[in-house]
Amino acid sequence: MLKAVKFGGSSVAGAEQFEKVKHIIEADASRRVVVVSAAGKRSSDDHKLTDLLYLCHAHLTYGVSCDEIMDTIEQRFVQIRDALGLSLDVEGEMARLRGRLNRDMSVDELVSRGEYFTARLMAEYLGFAFIDAADCVFFGYDGQLDRERTDRAVADALQANGKILLPGFYGRLPNGKVKVMSRGGSDITGALAAAAVGADVYENWTDVSGILMADPRIVDNPRPIEKITYAELRELAFMGASVMHEESIQPVKEKGIALNIRNTNRPEDPGTMIVGDAEDRGEDDRFITGIAGKRNFTILTVSKHNMNANHTLCQALEIMDRYHAPVEHISLGMDSFALVSGSAAMGDALYDVLADIRKTCRPDDIRVQDDIALVAAVGRKMSSRPGVSGRLFRALGESGVNIRTIAQGADELAITVGVDNKDFETAIRVMYNGFAG
């Protein structure tokens, strides 16, 4: 068994968090590949080191001294080192860094130092070999990750050292320069490392006990999702749930590696396990995995007698496409169809779209409904249970929620209802309380 584990900024924010990380690593000998972010906030009024480093660069650009900010950053590292009795020469290394600040330092190299120093300290503390991401995460000339080269370098480093620790968030360009990823990029490094070494599991340690079944701002204390497939996660993300970014799960997803989201502050919680579709053995009984939704959609309902013979739907879709109004859902009847699009995406084009549809499709009628919210119940097990949608619609009806449109994806992974914006939260609560809680 081999596990690749990534600790986010809040998990490595200070000496106390470093101790928790050590307990987690020591509790399981298979955790042999570790990736860390830069130290994050210790409390809500604290600063992430990455933010401070970006601020430093902004100061440099305007010719303003960033000495004070660099002092603050140095202090964070010194405090961790001293509290844990480590020996890294933070002062010496920071002095060298500061000596180069005005000259040849790129913004990418400067901000990558948050991860670099955090990883140096953590590697020493855990007794793992420090592997610089500049020596094992490679980008090509096009700025895209060079997966083959990266896979080889990380796998070789593990083989040579047995236990490795690398900083997240950055890598090296072919010209030798450091390049950082998008914000939150350590998640990507963690997934890359897990894929490179063929890990059995990629654990992503953060400060929540997994993905919640619904938005906690709407539902009180929603339960964490125990198990979810990559496909379901995609549906939830599409419907607005704030879950991990697609790019950061791709390397593990394509290799069929399970991803376990865990809480560094509550290591006893199992967290959420994200698995490939084939691995679902259906042991738990809940048939809705999660609920998510978004406000502010517009429904265009176009009616035309005998419309199929007139290719009316195709024409309308072409018009939407021409105005860059993405169609999120379509419902189709004999003599009418409804197109759902984001109101903001449609924007001012709405009136041009309507005029074009009128001219091209010559409909009997077009209706526009604004202020629509879409709410989706996502669950891989819904397709095998008859009557789920009926129960869902009845529950919404009994709570006075008027359903404006209904859509079920062809893969039956989600049932989406369109309701008035004002009923958005009620719809989510009704679905959660009736089917998920």
Catalog residues that contact ligand ASP under the rule CB under 6 A: 9, 37-38, 48, 50, 114, 168-169, 183-187
Task: State how far the Cα of 170 lies from the Cα of 145, in Å rounded to an integer.
Answer: 11
Task: State how far the Cα of 135 lies from the Cα of 137, in Å rounded to an integer.
Answer: 6
Residue with smaller CB distance to ligand ASP, 5 or 38 = 38
Minimum distance from residue 40 beta carbon to ligand ASP (Å): 7
With the C-alpha atoms ordered 407, 409, 412, 414, is the resulting torsion angle positive or negative? negative
Minimum distance from residue 372 beta carbon to ligand ASP (Å): 34
Task: State how far the Cα of 297 lies from the Cα of 18, in Å rounded to an integer.
Answer: 45
Residue 436 near residue 214 (C-beta atoms within 8 A): yes
At residue 217, φ and ψ (nearest 5 deg) are -75, -15
Minimum distance from residue 94 beta carbon to ligand ASP (Å): 18
Residue with smaller CB distance to ligand ASP, 133 or 258 = 133
Residue with smaller CB distance to ligand ASP, 37 or 416 = 37
Residue with smaller CB distance to ligand ASP, 186 or 301 = 186
Residue with smaller CB distance to ligand ASP, 185 or 222 = 185
Minimum distance from residue 186 beta carbon to ligand ASP (Å): 3
Question: For the residues of 307-374, what is the DSSP string, one character each?
Answer: GGGGTHHHHHHHHHHHTT--EEEEEE-SSEEEEEEEHHHHTTHHHHHHHHHHHHH--SEEEEEEEEEE
Query: Treating both helix axes as pointing N-terminal to C-terminal, what angle do 107-126 and 15-26 enclose, rounded to 10 degrees?
Result: 60
- Tell which residue, 261, 259, 256, 248, has the closest CA to residue 277: 256
Minimum distance from residue 114 beta carbon to ligand ASP (Å): 6
Minimum distance from residue 153 beta carbon to ligand ASP (Å): 20
Residue 330 near residue 340 (C-beta atoms within 8 A): yes
Residue with smaller CB distance to ligand ASP, 31 or 48 = 48
Residue with tokens 């490179």: 196
Query: To 5 degrees, how large is the angle CA 77–CA 80–CA 82?
Result: 105
Residue with smaller CB distance to ligand ASP, 134 or 417 = 134
Query: To 5 degrees, how large is the angle CA 201–CA 230–CA 241?
Result: 115
Minimum distance from residue 93 beta carbon to ligand ASP (Å): 18
Minimum distance from residue 109 beta carbon to ligand ASP (Å): 14
Minimum distance from residue 39 beta carbon to ligand ASP (Å): 9
Residue with tokens 């600063």: 47
Residue nearest to ligand ASP (CB): 186
Residue with smaller CB distance to ligand ASP, 204 or 416 = 204
Question: Do the bridges between strand 31-36 and strand 3-7 make them parallel or antiparallel, or are there none, so unpaired?
Answer: parallel
Residue with smaller CB distance to ligand ASP, 9 or 171 = 9
Cβ atoms within 10 Å of 326's Cβ, excluding its own: 11
CB proximity list for 107: less than 8 A, separation 6 or greater = 54, 57
